[in-house]
């Protein structure tokens, strides 16, 4: 499409002197226009007689109606046979109607026998959005004449359609006003409630911020407000039935007297235990949840466990059924039998305990070596476990040992569905596949990684996934070939789980981050922040609709995954993003890229300005403290000072390109250069002084009062200087401990290792050693308002801003890490389910 359309489109824009960048909507409009023109020319060239006065207009009307009907009936392909006189598609495809046939031939359709579709789904989505634009205009002008339109009868769910609506807002500002007008109309006229819900969803997808807006008495049932920025919004008296608030920012929101029937938050109230969650498991019927807990005290890779126990919880009401205290050491794994009649637990105390679930009595104990894993086979006839690092198979009838694969050391195990094989992860970074019937090793796969933490097999036996360091490797089970590698975690991935319906893979790491992947495309569906500590356990319910996690922060949490995934995704740069910066004063975000541009975003995720001017990659961005200016440095050996409105006010020519920059105050800043120089600059006067150092300077940062400057570089681990006197306060050259990120907090210098991204601090650098004092996660969030990065993903962590960059795309995930409902009010709310009532109460208590 681009090849055929772009030259003519650019030529038209040049002649008409049209400014601004091209967007997808422009390309599709031009493509459709050219298509209609060519089809009309064919008609005239072939002397086809028609009764249509304006063919191109008729082509368009036909496409608008057909695309809308197809999207309303969830179809991309239509089947039509002329023998079916009552077929709903007769008006579009009846071969006996000459007029219909003439117009159909001019539409961009694929036709094959009795099947019809648009030549590409995006063409269908384009026409749906264009039809919606018209319908919105009609609804806001002549309401009674247009109430039965598709926009007011069907909720929009297609992501491609949303993309065109977002660009329509960008191209036609009046459309945005009309969407707000529909929302306002719903306050007094419930007949437009579906249209208002669609309008709200479109604005949300377009990253509109709804802060402090008056939505009292709106009627928006079914609106998708996932990830919405709703801080301070007032929904008093509103109809919010079936609204999706998944991962929304609901601070100070008023839900008083609102109809909250079947409102979706994407989460359920969590269970807080009195110690760390080591393992959490559902029973097969989902009636019970078993949680093994204990407080681990770690000292130099050795640990002791206080109060090991298993708590059995009723999953419906989250009440404790019983507590089992028969083990004396760490309880690492749990399992329920397939009929839920038995429950087993294994421990480092070299025992397996078997209980009946009717009265939770201990009926048998197996003693061997320390146990680290246990599970039932698919048939329930066998129990597999790992004892002393060896795979063992026990009979579930008499609990006798059937076989032990004693020559291999393994750490995880899983049966195939046919129970002929067991797949295991080995401590020596090796996948073992054992033949149970032949009682021998069937296949061995050596992996390239530092640590192999977990191996899991999909329930259709198509893939197996391996947690290798910070990556997830996906292997084809039939060919044993590596399919793909998933990268989203910044710390080691400890646990993996496929959903039983084979739709999802979930992964959890040591920093409390959970990633949900689509198994069909192996794309990230969403990321969840489950706490600030190790994810020890992940499990889907049998129906695949709920995800449960256990974490070392003593919590068991639940997420619903059948809802639509968060729908906001922002177009980013055309090439890799190199750095981002955040200004808390103006609540602005800046990004820079290899594509030679910088972009400025607001906290709602809306792109405010793109800064053009550099002739090469933009290497760094830095806001002035007051947020009025942005400094950029580039490979083109210049630094540019911009107003946040997008105007370049100053260009500084440099002798070497600057890799990093930092403001001392609103008028002074420092540059760290590739040639080793640190240049002190004044906004108006330019360079005021410089110091020369060995090796390139990779990071510079002023303390908050501007009295100190810290920098790291190729040959400098850390140097901190007094700006006024030039005195070197810290000069660390131990290059074995490499720092890539710096921050100041009071008198501390807080650094981050490039390899581990751990937050560390030392109070007295004069007595520098390799031993550091850990800083709490809360302190890190206060300090790292700039960024932390794992080299592939960059996050902003702040009370008002969370964003992620992947390659050249920016994915706005405000609130996606956790649903924030602090200080919201629900006085007099109607039809609020007991489950949601409990969740809201818990969320408000967590933030008090």
Instruction: Please tell me whether residues 57 and 109 are part of one structural domain.
Output: yes
295 pLDDT above the threshold of 60: yes
Which of 266, 300, 332 is the last residue before a domain boundary? 266
Contact status, residue 835 vs residue 842, Cβ threshold 8 Å: no
360 pLDDT above the threshold of 70: yes
5 pLDDT above the threshold of 50: yes
Contact status, residue 422 vs residue 405, Cβ threshold 8 Å: no
Q: Dihedral sign, CA of 755, 759, 765, 771? A: negative
> pLDDT tens, 545-567?
889 999 888 888 888 886 565 55
In 285-356, at which residue ranges do the beta strands (DSSP E only) sit? Answer: 288-299, 302-314, 320-324, 331-336, 342-347, 351-356
Asked if the structure places residue 832 within a domain, the reply is no
Asked if the structure places residue 842 within a domain, the reply is no
Tell me the two tokens of residue 74: 């969830």
Instruction: Please tell me whether residues 109 and 144 are part of one structural domain.
Output: no
Average pLDDT of the segment spanning 398-406 = 92
Q: What number of other Cβ atoms are within 10 A of residue 315's Cβ?
A: 19
Asked if the structure places residue 462 within a domain, the reply is yes
pLDDT over 70 percentage in the chain: 83
pTM of the model: 0.72
Average pLDDT of the segment spanning 509-535 = 83
pLDDT-based confidence at residue 65 (cuts at 50, 70, 90): very high
Instruction: Please tell me whether residues 546 and 693 are part of one structural domain.
Output: no
> pLDDT tens, 697-725?
988 988 878 888 988 888 887 888 889 88
Instruction: Please tell me whether residues 290 and 382 are part of one structural domain.
Output: yes
206 pLDDT above the threshold of 90: no
Tell me the two tokens of residue 700: 């510079």
Roughly how many angstroms between the first and final C-alpha of the chain, as a whole number?
Answer: 55
Of 572 and 490, more confident:
490
Axis crossing angle, helix 173-185 with helix 121-141, rounded to the nearest 10? 60
DSSP summary character for residue 254: B
Instruction: Please tell me whether residues 432 and 486 are part of one structural domain.
Output: yes
Instruction: Please tell me whether residues 258 and 367 are part of one structural domain.
Output: no
Q: What is the pLDDT of residue 581?
A: 78
Which of 102, 123, 144 is the last residue before a domain boundary? 123
Q: Which range, 275-284, 351-360, 408-417, is most confident?
A: 351-360
Q: What is the pLDDT of residue 50?
A: 60
Asked if the structure places residue 823 within a domain, the reply is no
Q: Dihedral sign, CA of 566, 246, 581, 651? A: positive
Q: Which residues contact 447 (CB under 8 A, 6 or more apart)?
A: 429, 430, 431, 466, 468, 473
Using CA atoms, how far apart are residues 417 and 483, in angstroms rounded to an integer? 21
Q: What distances in angstroms separate CA 546 from CA 518, 558, 561, 751, 847, one per listed residue?
A: 15, 7, 6, 38, 25
Instruction: Please tell me whether residues 498 and 365 are part of one structural domain.
Output: yes
791 pLDDT above the threshold of 50: no
| Segments in 73-192 forming alpha helices (H) | 90-93, 98-104, 121-141, 143-146, 159-171, 173-185
Q: What is the pLDDT of residue 735?
A: 57
Q: What is the pLDDT of residue 793?
A: 40
Q: What is the pLDDT of residue 770?
A: 30
Closest to 450 measured CA to CA, from 507, 508, 491, 408: 491
Q: What number of other Cβ atoms are within 10 A of residue 755's Cβ?
A: 11
Instruction: Please tell me whether residues 355 and 311 are part of one structural domain.
Output: yes
Average pLDDT of the segment spanning 588-605 = 80
Q: Which residues contact 729 (CB under 8 A, 6 or more apart)?
A: 708, 720, 721, 722, 765
Tell me the two tokens of residue 408: 């291999």
Asked if the structure places residue 839 within a domain, the reply is no
Q: What is the pLDDT of residue 640?
A: 97
Average pLDDT of the segment spanning 403-410 = 91
Instruction: Please tell me whether residues 632 and 621 are part of one structural domain.
Output: yes
Q: What number of other Cβ atoms are within 10 A of residue 602's Cβ?
A: 16
Of 199 and 846, more confident:
199
Average pLDDT of the segment spanning 252-276 = 92
Instruction: Please tell me whether residues 552 and 621 are part of one structural domain.
Output: no
Which of 202, 232, 266 is the last residue before a domain boundary? 266
pLDDT-based confidence at residue 134 (cuts at 50, 70, 90): very high
> pLDDT tens, 23-48?
788 888 888 998 998 888 888 777 66
Asked if the structure places residue 819 within a domain, the reply is no
Please state, rounded to an integer, the average pLDDT across all residues of the chain: 83
In 513-587, at which residue ranges do the beta strands (DSSP E only) sit? Answer: 513-518, 523-529, 535-540, 546-551, 555-560, 577-583
> pLDDT tens, 424-439?
998 788 999 999 999 9
Q: What is the pLDDT of residue 199?
A: 97
Average pLDDT of the segment spanning 803-813 = 50
Q: What is the pLDDT of residue 552?
A: 85
Q: What is the pLDDT of residue 823?
A: 85
15 pLDDT above the threshold of 50: yes
Asked if the structure places residue 93 within a domain, the reply is yes
Least confident interval from 199-208, 301-310, 355-364, 443-452: 301-310
CATH assignment of the domain containing 662: 2.130.10.10
Average pLDDT of the segment spanning 380-408 = 92
Instruction: Please tell me whether residues 691 and 780 are part of one structural domain.
Output: yes
Q: How many domains does the chain have?
A: 4
Q: What is the pLDDT of residue 629?
A: 96
Q: Which residues contact 445 (CB under 8 A, 6 or more apart)?
A: 430, 431, 433, 475, 480
Asked if the structure places residue 163 within a domain, the reply is yes
- Beta-bridge partners for 445: 431
Average pLDDT of the segment spanning 131-142 = 94
Using CA atoms, how far apart are residues 250 and 821, in angstroms rounded to an integer? 5
Using CA atoms, how far apart are residues 628 and 666, in angstroms rounded to an integer? 9
Residue 743, exposed/middle/buried by CB under 10 A (0-12, 13-18, 19+)?
A: buried
Q: Which range, 423-427, 649-653, 768-772, is most confident?
A: 649-653
pLDDT-based confidence at residue 848 (cuts at 50, 70, 90): low
Q: What is the pLDDT of residue 10?
A: 63
- Residue matched to tokens 């008499």: 398
652 pLDDT above the threshold of 90: yes
356 pLDDT above the threshold of 60: yes
Q: Which domain holds residue 799?
A: 577-812
Instruction: Please tell me whether residues 393 and 415 are part of one structural domain.
Output: yes
Q: What distances in angstroms separate CA 708 from CA 597, 683, 694, 746, one per listed residue?
A: 30, 19, 20, 11
């Amino acid at each position: 499409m681009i090849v055929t359309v772009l030259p003519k489109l650019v030529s038209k824009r040049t002649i008409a002197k049209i400014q601004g960048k091209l967007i997808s909507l422009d390309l599709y409009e031009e493509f459709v226009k050219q298509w209609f023109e060519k089809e009309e020319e064919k008609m005239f060239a072939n002397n086809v007689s028609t009764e249509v006065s304006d063919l191109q207009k008729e082509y368009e009307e036909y496409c608008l109606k057909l695309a809308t009907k197809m999207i309303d009936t969830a179809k991309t392909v239509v089947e039509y046979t002329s023998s079916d006189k009552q077929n709903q598609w007769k008006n579009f495809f009846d071969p006996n109607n000459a007029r219909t046939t003439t117009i159909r031939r001019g539409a961009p359709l694929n036709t094959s026998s009795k099947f019809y579709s648009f030549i590409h789904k995006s063409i269908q989505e384009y026409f749906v959005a264009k039809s919606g634009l018209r319908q919105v205009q009609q609804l806001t002008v002549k309401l009674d004449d247009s109430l039965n339109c598709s926009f007011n009868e069907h909720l929009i769910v297609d992501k491609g359609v949303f993309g065109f609506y977002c660009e329509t807002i960008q191209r036609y500002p009046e459309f945005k006003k009309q969407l707000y007008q529909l929302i306002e109309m719903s306050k007094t006229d419930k007949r437009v409630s579906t249209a208002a819900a669609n309008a709200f969803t479109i604005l949300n997808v377009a990253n509109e911020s709804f802060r402090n807006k008056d939505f009292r008495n709106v009627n928006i049932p079914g609106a998708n407000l996932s990830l919405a920025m709703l801080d301070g919004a007032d929904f008093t008296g509103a109809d919010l039935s079936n609204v999706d608030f998944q991962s929304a920012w609901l601070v100070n929101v008023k839900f008083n007297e609102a109809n909250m029937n079947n409102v979706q938050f994407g989460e359920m109230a969590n269970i807080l235990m009195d110690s760390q969650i080591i393992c959490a498991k559902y029973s097969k019927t989902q009636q019970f949840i078993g949680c093994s807990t204990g407080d681990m005290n770690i000292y130099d890779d050795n640990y002791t466990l206080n109060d090991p126990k298993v708590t059995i919880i009723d999953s419906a009401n989250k009440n404790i059924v019983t507590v089992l205290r028969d083990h004396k050491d760490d309880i690492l794994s749990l399992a329920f039998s397939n009929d839920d009649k038995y429950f087993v637990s294994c421990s480092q105390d070299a025992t397996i305990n078997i209980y009946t679930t009717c009265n939770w009595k201990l009926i048998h104990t197996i003693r061997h070596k320390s146990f680290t894993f246990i599970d039932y086979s698919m048939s329930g006839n066998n129990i597999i476990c790992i004892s002393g690092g060896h795979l063992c198979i026990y009979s579930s009838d008499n609990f006798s040992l059937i076989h032990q694969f004693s020559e291999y050391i393994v750490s995880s195990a899983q049966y195939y569905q046919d129970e002929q094989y067991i797949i295991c992860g080995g401590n020596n970074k090796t996948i073992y596949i054992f033949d149970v019937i032949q009682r021998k090793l069937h296949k061995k796969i050596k992996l390239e990684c530092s640590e192999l933490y977990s191996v899991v097999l999909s329930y259709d036996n198509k893939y197996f996934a391996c947690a290798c360091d910070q990556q997830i490797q996906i292997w084809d089970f039939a060919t044993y070939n590596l399919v793909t590698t998933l990268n989203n975690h910044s710390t080691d991935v400890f646990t993996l789980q496929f959903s039983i319906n084979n739709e999802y893979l979930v992964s959890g790491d040591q920093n409390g981050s959970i990633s949900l992947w689509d198994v069909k495309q192996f794309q990230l569906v969403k990321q969840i922040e489950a706490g600030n500590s190790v994810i020890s356990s992940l499990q889907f319910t049998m129906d695949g609709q709920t995800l449960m996690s256990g974490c070392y922060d003593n919590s068991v949490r639940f997420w619903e995954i059948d809802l639509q995934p968060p729908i906001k995704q922002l177009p980013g740069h055309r090439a890799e993003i190199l750095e981002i910066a955040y200004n808390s004063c103006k609540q602005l975000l800046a990004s820079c890229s290899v594509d030679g541009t910088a972009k400025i975003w607001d906290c709602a995720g809306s792109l405010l300005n793109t800064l053009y001017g550099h002739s090469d990659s933009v290497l760094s961005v830095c806001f002035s403290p007051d947020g009025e200016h942005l400094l950029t440095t580039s490979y083109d050996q210049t630094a540019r000072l911009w107003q946040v409105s997008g105007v370049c006010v100053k260009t500084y020519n440099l002798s070497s390109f600057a890799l990093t920059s930092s403001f001392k105050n609103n008028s002074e800043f420092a540059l760290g250069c590739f040639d080793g120089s640190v240049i002190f600059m004044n906004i108006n006067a330019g360079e005021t002084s410089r110091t020369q150092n060995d090796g390139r300077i990779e990071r510079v940062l002023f303390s908050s009062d501007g009295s100190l400057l810290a920098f790291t570089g190729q040959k400098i681990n850390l140097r901190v200087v007094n700006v006024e006197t030039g005195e070197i306060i810290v000069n660390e050259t131990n290059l074995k401990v490499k720092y890539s990120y710096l921050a100041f907090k009071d008198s501390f210098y807080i650094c981050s290792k490039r390899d581990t991204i751990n937050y560390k601090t030392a109070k007295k650098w004069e007595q520098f050693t390799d031993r550091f004092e850990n800083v709490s996660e809360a302190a890190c969030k206060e300090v790292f308002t700039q960024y932390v990065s794992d080299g592939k993903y960059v996050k902003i962590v702040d009370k008002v801003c969370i964003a992620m960059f992947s390659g050249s795309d920016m994915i706005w995930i405000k609130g996606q890490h956790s649903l924030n409902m602090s200080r919201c009010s629900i006085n007099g709310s109607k039809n609020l389910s007991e489950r949601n009532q409990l969740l809201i109460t818990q969320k408000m208590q967590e933030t008090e």
